[in-house]
Amino acid sequence: MVSAEPVPPVPATLPGPGDRAGDEGEHRPRQPLSGARLRRSTWWWIRTAAMTGTAVLAYQLLVIAGSVARGVLTVILYVIFGGVVAYIAGPAVDAMVRWLRVPRTVAILAALVGGMVIIGLLVYLVAGPVVTEARTLAGEVPRLVSRAQSQLTRLTSFLKERNLPVSGLDIASSDRSISSQLSSLLLSSLTGTLSAALDVIIVFVVAFWLLKDGDRLRAGLLHLLPARLRVNTEFALDAMGVVVGGYVRAQLLLALMIGTLAGTGCALIGVPFPLVVGLAAGVFELIPIVGPFVGGGVALLLAATVSPLLMFATLALFLGIHFIEGYVLAPRIQARFVQLHPLIALLALFAGVEVAGFLGALFAVPAASLVAVYVRAAVGDIRASRPELFAVLRADAHRDRRRQRLLSEFRLFSHSPLGRLRVRSGRGGGGEGGAGPDGRPER
């Protein structure tokens, strides 16, 4: 008989995953490993909770910072527009104080209240017809679009008869969306009237205190600064008053004149809704360079709904207005305050639009002009204090000639033909006007 082997006793508790015996039959104690797991799990949950709390706190801080930034930006805009109003009303206040001998506070109140009355009269006289025309325009959109579609169809047929490849244009399908957009725009404009009125009141209050205590505020600010920084800050404030104040007054005068010319001209040649055109031309005139073209585009779109002949007449009208603005009005009104190259002004305008939209477009050019004034002043100070940095030395002249010879190797002509003609004409003149071989006047 085979003897039965003894059966090993069954343990009271089953081994856990960490209590498996190795090849040598050793068993690890369970209680210490269980405590390590607990500590690791607890530490993991604590880190997760800390990260979640940190993320929530960071989001709340960002929301609070955004609210604070919006509030600060609103206050800054109130100060900026209040300063604009103060720059506009400043000459009138100074004239009343100087010539009428009235107290400055009375003169400020008279100027601001008179300005608000003028704005109110303009709104009362212009807003009613403009709103009526805008409503009529919104209702007439389907008919105007249908007329424009017929005109485009006739133009397409005319071009196809002469073997010009064109594709038909269909804009009648968008008349409902255009009408609804105009109606919603009109409704939003009417609902925002109360908010705009409140903003205007705040701006005029800020302008009142800037006109009344502006000199005192400026003196207090300068008193807090060191002597060297005080001089630079005083010049910066003076430049801001001269450049920005003059630009604002000039731009508003130009906008008023261009809006009047556009509205009157469109009414004379028969463009529909001339008040809307005049208002659009005046508002967009506040945006330099591109604004006049946008105002003219509104008139061209309205004229295109009547006839192509009226559209060409409207184009000729706005070209004439642009000629008058560029060669008669702007050189005498605006050029003194904006001494910038047109390319620099255009780049500044694009940068302002990218940064702050419409407000950036309004203030980009005067800000660039102000920066140009600061740069010219800084360069002038450096040139006066360190003239040796700008002196042309003999070594610099030799270096320039050496570099020019290097560049001449890459030119088609080693010397410019026009330059040779100028040199020959200068040498052939003789007398005091001739030039010697070294470039000096011959005697």
As a whole number, mean pLDDT of residues 89-110 equals 90
Q: Which tokens in the block code for residue 14?
A: 């089953």
**Residue 99 has what pLDDT?**
92
DSSP 8-state code for residue 10 = P
Give me the pLDDT at residue 283, please.
83
Identify whether the C-beta of residue 295 lies closer than 8 Å to the C-beta of residue 285: yes
Distance CA 310, CA 313 (A): 5
pLDDT score of 14: 45
Question: pLDDT: is 110 or 31 the higher one?
Answer: 110
Q: pLDDT tens for residues 375-417?
A: 999 999 898 888 888 877 777 778 888 888 888 878 776 555 5
How does residue 106 score in pLDDT terms, banded at 50, 70 and 90?
very high
Query: Is residue 316 over pLDDT 70?
Result: yes
Using CA atoms, how far apart are residues 57 and 52, in angstroms rounded to an integer? 9
Handedness of CA 272, 124, 87, 361 (dihedral sign): negative
- Concatenated DSSP letters for 206-255? HHHHHHHHHHHHHHHHHHTS-HHHHHHHHHHHHHHHHHHHHHHHHHHHHH
At residue 222, does pLDDT exceed 80? yes
pLDDT in the model for residue 333: 72
For 269, residues 6+ apart whose C-beta sits below 8 A from its C-beta are 310, 313, 314, 317
Q: What is the pTM of this model?
A: 0.59
For residue 18, pLDDT beyond 50: no
Residue 421 has pLDDT above 50, yes or no: no
Residue 102: inside a domain: yes
Q: Could you tell me if residue 210 is inside a domain? A: yes
35 vs 373, residue with greater confidence: 373
pLDDT at 123: 72
Q: How confident is the model at residue 326 (pLDDT cuts 50, 70, 90)?
A: confident
pLDDT at 3 over 60: no
Q: Phi/psi of residue 390, each to 5°?
A: -110, 5
Which residues touch 30 (CB under 8 Å, ≥6 apart)? Answer: 16, 18, 19
Closest CA to 114 of 204, 198, 199: 204
Q: Which of 286, 282, 243 is nearest to 265 (CA)?
A: 282
pLDDT of 114 > 60? The answer is yes
For residue 142, report the phi and psi dihedrals to the nearest 5 degrees: -60, -40
pLDDT tens digits along 150-174? 767 777 776 667 666 555 444 444 4
Whether residue 117 is contained in a domain is answered as: yes
pLDDT more than 70, % of the chain: 69
Provide the domain limits for residue 104: 47-143+193-224
Q: Assess whether pLDDT exceeds 80 at residue 127.
A: no
Is residue 440 over pLDDT 50?
no
pLDDT in tens, 199-215: 888 999 999 999 999 88
pLDDT in tens, 239-277: 888 888 888 888 888 888 898 999 899 999 988 888 888
> Which of 23-37, 125-139, 163-177, 246-260 holds the top average pLDDT?
246-260
In a domain, 137, yes or no: yes
Question: How confident is the model over 276-299, as pLDDT tens digits?
Answer: 888 888 888 887 767 778 878 888
pLDDT at position 386 is 87
Percent of the chain with pLDDT over 90: 12
* 311 within domain boundaries: no
* pLDDT mean across residues, the chain: 76
Work out the pLDDT band at 430, boundaries 50, 70, 90. Answer: very low
**Residue 441 backbone dihedrals phi, psi, to 5 degrees:** -65, 135
Is residue 441 pLDDT above 50, yes or no?
A: no
Per-residue model confidence (pLDDT) at position 186 = 54
So what's the pLDDT on residue 109? 93
Residue 338 lies in a domain: no
Which amino acid, 406?
Answer: L
The answer to whether residue 76 sits within a structural domain is yes
In a domain, 378, yes or no: no
The total number of structural domains in the chain stands at: 1
